[in-house]
Amino acid sequence: MGLNKKLVGAFASASALTLVGVAIQQTTAPIVEVQAAVNNSYINAQKFANPPINYTKSTFTEGVAYAKGRPEGIIVHETGNSASTLQNEVTYMQREWNKTSFAYVHAFVDRNEVRNIHTTNQTVWGAGPNANGHFIQIELVHEHSNYNFAHSISNDAYYIATLLKQYGLKPSKAKRDGTGTIWSHRNISYYLHGTDHGDPDGYFASFGYSMDQFYDLIVQKYNSLGGTVQPPDESGLMGTTSNSGDAIAKVLNNSGAPVYSDPGSGKTNKTLPKNSRWKVFGRATVNGQTWYRVATNQWIEGKYSYVTGYSKILMNYLDAGKVTNSGSPIARVEHGTEIPVYKAPGSSSTGQKLRPQSGWKVFGRATYKGQSWYKVGSNDWIEGKYLYVKGYSSIPVVNIDSGSVTGTTSNSGTPVAKVEHSSKIPVYTAPGSSATGQKLPPQSNWKVFGRTIHNGQMWYKVGSNDWIEGKYLYVTGYSQIPVVNPFIGTTTDSGSPIARVENGSDIPVYKAPGSSATGQKLPPQSNWKVFGRTTHNGQMWYKVGSNDWIEGKYLYVTGYSQIPVVNPGGGSAAGTITNSGVPVAKVEVAGAIPVYKAPGANATGQTLNPQTKWKVFARMNYNGQAWYNVGTDNWIQGNRISITGYSSIPVVSSGAGLAVNSGEPVAKVMHSRGIKVYGTAGANITHRVLGMNTRWKIFGKRVVGTQTWYKVGSVDWIPSGYVYVEGYSKIPSI
């Protein structure tokens, strides 16, 4: 998984440069020689016994029901920390999940045991918003010998097989359409997105093992189990659930369970005693907490009880159709099944459906035939009766007149854009570019010469270098408007290394530049993280996976200067990288290279000899140049070395935790995983994450204990440790 603590642990242990294979000084330990590969034949030959499955009470309070009522599969993680133990991992995660790491999984596995730390009947945070609501998540702890690695792999495969049996699932590999029951974290990154991790592939590869072999071992364990597997006895774990049995809540809290007339409000004088059992008639989720209805107008909190027959309990969507002015404009689906998306209020469906409990940014609202509708995309509308909407008062009202709706289109008529906004709208030189200074008044009509999509938004060309945003318009003759793409085949140094497909149709993926196609195709306007670039026959190619390359002529690429040049042939060369293997830097130039105290800082006076190898603890992009950390205050330039294990190297951003008085009050996110947003300074963690390198206006600051917090929204607070702040002296204390 690669949590925050692993970077801290890595630096703490890197007191001196760690040379691989050649000692720079007597105190420097050499890297361990690579051992023979582990395979399933080797694992089976050891005849490992099945592991004990032990339980540690959960500290995670954000677990909710799965999107489809039960897990759809299992995600395989590895900790990414060779210096840690299972108990250390458990202790850290249970202590830090809501402070620094913002991650929690269901279980850890090593050569000795399976340690469950949260009920598998509820979700956890381990693989991003697109996966957390659907999968059980298990972390594999690092081992240091073939035998111990094989033992831990056997334990993990057995535990996964029992979970598949327990939930009535069959083994199947992860697929791009979201189906499949066995997923690696890397699969999530590539197929479902919302995360950028590549484990456990690199760790497996260090033992000559692979995810495909692990899948085969899971199938083997699954077939050997036969029949069904009874769920573990979790009756002693307060706040957990089981799908087996009747819908019964057993109170486990020593002080009993207080009774409320409504979930979260209306506390009565009644308390249900410990060990009493109550039939459950319904459940509801309020502020992330599960509540159970045990009688008419009588509710108890789930955290005080153990509940059986969970999947049989009807969900009560108490917030459906409600709104609140607090928070940012977000619509949460409060319906028992997926809800349809429409092209316009009362219009035809787009075919897309939104999952229960999923949250969507709202761009506008309208009333159609007495019903509230909310705009969640360019031509995407959903019915308010199925939603709980936050930030209601800040959602702009969208005009609906004569059947036209702001942000919608019609194929009838000639290509004309009508301004449906309540005030003048700006004209831009290009989509997302600078404004021309000209503005178009409400209800004015303009001939349209072209259209394009930029950052998910529709734009229309109404002059030679005149573009306007589609969200303010009602457009006729849409099908007659030619697609004009000002971005295809272009690059920019701003932003993160991302390739967006600008072609009008799917583009093929190749095994290498100019090589054979993989059979996979990437759809228009999809975005892909870029790991490398190269030139082949005069054409630019970009690497978007281990053996996945796409042609630059079809793309718009951001963060271009940060993308390392890659040698597709796999040979060692200065400035090249590969994701396979462990994080190691090899000096590829003829002379010794200098070591620096920090990227761009003074040299330490130490140099590294040609062809020597060094363990890598972190990487940073500084002034468009890749730098690698090979020890405490020891950095080397990426253009003089080759790198293995690139995808498993933690990213460090310069400036995190610093503040300057110059400029206006703005916070720039410097953490590679982004940072969580809190409802108040130091408390009430939300599910919102601010991405790396994004910038946010600061409205105030507050010190809680020794930590400074910044207010970046009406009820949005972030910690100072992960941001670079400008205009500090202008920020009021509140």
pLDDT digits (tens, 9 = 90+) for 163-217: 999 988 999 999 988 899 999 999 998 898 878 888 999 899 889 999 999 999 9
What integer pLDDT is reported at residue 658 of this predicted model? 61
Q: What percent of the chain has pLDDT over 70?
A: 87
Q: Kindly tell me if the per-residue pLDDT of 699 is higher than 90.
A: yes
Does an H or E element contain 594, and which? strand 593-596
What integer pLDDT is reported at residue 638 of this predicted model? 85
Beta bridge partners of 290: 285
The highest-confidence range among 158-162, 315-319, 522-526, by mean pLDDT, is 158-162
Q: Kindly tell me if the per-residue pLDDT of 447 is higher than 90.
A: yes
> In whole angstroms, what separates CA 344 from the centre of its chain?
30
Q: Kindly tell me if the per-residue pLDDT of 155 is higher than 90.
A: yes
Enter the DSSP assignment of 659.
B
What integer pLDDT is reported at residue 179 of this predicted model? 92
| Residue 471 burial class via C-beta count within 10 angstroms: exposed 0-12, middle 13-18, buried 19 and up | buried
8 A C-beta contact, residue 143 and residue 111? yes
What integer pLDDT is reported at residue 170 of this predicted model? 94
8 A C-beta contact, residue 117 and residue 26? no
**3-class secondary-structure state, position 91:** helix
Separation of alpha carbons 534 and 45, rounded Å: 44
Q: Kindly tell me if the per-residue pLDDT of 140 is higher than 90.
A: yes
What integer pLDDT is reported at residue 141 of this predicted model? 96
Q: Find the mean pLDDT for residues 647-666.
A: 72
Beta bridge partners of 260: 267, 299
User: From the CB of residue 366, how many other CB atoms can be counted at a distance below 10 Å?
Assistant: 21
Q: Kindly tell me if the per-residue pLDDT of 602 is higher than 90.
A: no
What integer pLDDT is reported at residue 706 of this predicted model? 61
8 A C-beta contact, residue 248 and residue 294? no
Q: Find the mean pLDDT for residues 152-169.
A: 95
Q: Kindly tell me if the per-residue pLDDT of 572 is higher than 60.
A: no
Of 4-18, 434-448, 566-580, 677-691, which range is least confident?
4-18
The highest-confidence range among 267-276, 574-583, 609-618, by mean pLDDT, is 267-276
Of 232-236, 340-344, 624-628, 658-662, which range is least confident?
232-236
Of 11-25, 183-197, 313-327, 490-504, which range is least confident?
11-25
Q: Kindly tell me if the per-residue pLDDT of 78 is higher than 60.
A: yes
DSSP string, 252-284: --TT-EEEEEETTEEEEEEEEPTT-EEE--EEE
Classify the phi-psi angles of 628: left when phi > 0, otherwise alpha if psi is within -120 to 50, otherwise beta: beta
| Residue 229 burial class via C-beta count within 10 angstroms: exposed 0-12, middle 13-18, buried 19 and up | middle
Q: Find the mean pLDDT for residues 713-725.
A: 81
**Across the chain, how many H-helices and E-strands are there?**
7, 60
What integer pLDDT is reported at residue 652 of this predicted model? 63
Q: Kindly tell me if the per-residue pLDDT of 507 is higher than 50.
A: yes
Enter the DSSP assignment of 525.
T
**3-class secondary-structure state, position 682:** coil
What integer pLDDT is reported at residue 656 of this predicted model? 54
What integer pLDDT is reported at residue 683 of this predicted model? 82
CA max distance for the chain: 83
Separation of alpha carbons 340 and 441, rounded Å: 34
Please list, in sequence order, all residues whose beta carbon lies within 8 angstroms of the beta carbon of residue 212, skipping any fewer than 6 positions away.
none
Q: Kindly tell me if the per-residue pLDDT of 657 is higher than 80.
A: no
More confident residue, 593 or 237: 593
Please list, in sequence order, all residues whose beta carbon lies within 8 angstroms of the beta carbon of residue 329, skipping any fewer than 6 positions away.
361, 362, 363, 389, 390, 391, 392, 394, 395
What integer pLDDT is reported at residue 22 of this predicted model? 28
pLDDT tens digits for range 332-363: 888 767 899 998 887 888 988 888 777 888 98
**3-class secondary-structure state, position 577:** strand
DSSP string, 128-178: -TTTTTTEEEEEEPP-SSHHHHHHHHHHHHHHHHHHHHHTT----B--TTS
Residue with tokens 């410990």: 274
Beta bridge partners of 689: 676
What integer pLDDT is reported at residue 592 of this predicted model? 87
pTM score above 0.85:
no
Q: Find the mean pLDDT for residues 9-32.
A: 28
More confident residue, 404 or 219: 219
Separation of alpha carbons 27 and 10, rounded Å: 18
Q: How far is CA 546 from CA 108, 110, 132, 550, 593, in A?
A: 27, 27, 24, 12, 29
What's the chain's average pLDDT? 82
What integer pLDDT is reported at residue 11 of this predicted model? 25
What integer pLDDT is reported at residue 708 of this predicted model? 84
pLDDT tens digits for range 630-651: 875 678 988 788 888 887 887 7
Q: Kindly tell me if the per-residue pLDDT of 679 is higher than 90.
A: no
What integer pLDDT is reported at residue 405 of this predicted model? 61
Separation of alpha carbons 41 and 575, rounded Å: 38
Q: How far is CA 678 from CA 307, 539, 562, 670, 683, in A?
A: 30, 46, 31, 17, 6
What integer pLDDT is reported at residue 654 of this predicted model? 59
Cα angle value 546/497/519 (rounded, 5°)? 35
Q: What percent of the chain has pLDDT over 90?
A: 29
Quickly state the pLDDT bin for 50 (edges 50, 70, 90): very high
User: From the CB of residue 725, how many other CB atoms can be counted at a distance below 10 Å?
Assistant: 22
What integer pLDDT is reported at residue 632 of this predicted model? 59
Does an H or E element contain 219, and which? helix 211-225
One-letter amino acid at 276 equals: S
Separation of alpha carbons 76 and 153, rounded Å: 11
What integer pLDDT is reported at residue 14 of this predicted model? 30
Work out whether the CA dihedral 23, 29, 31, 33 comes out positive or negative: positive
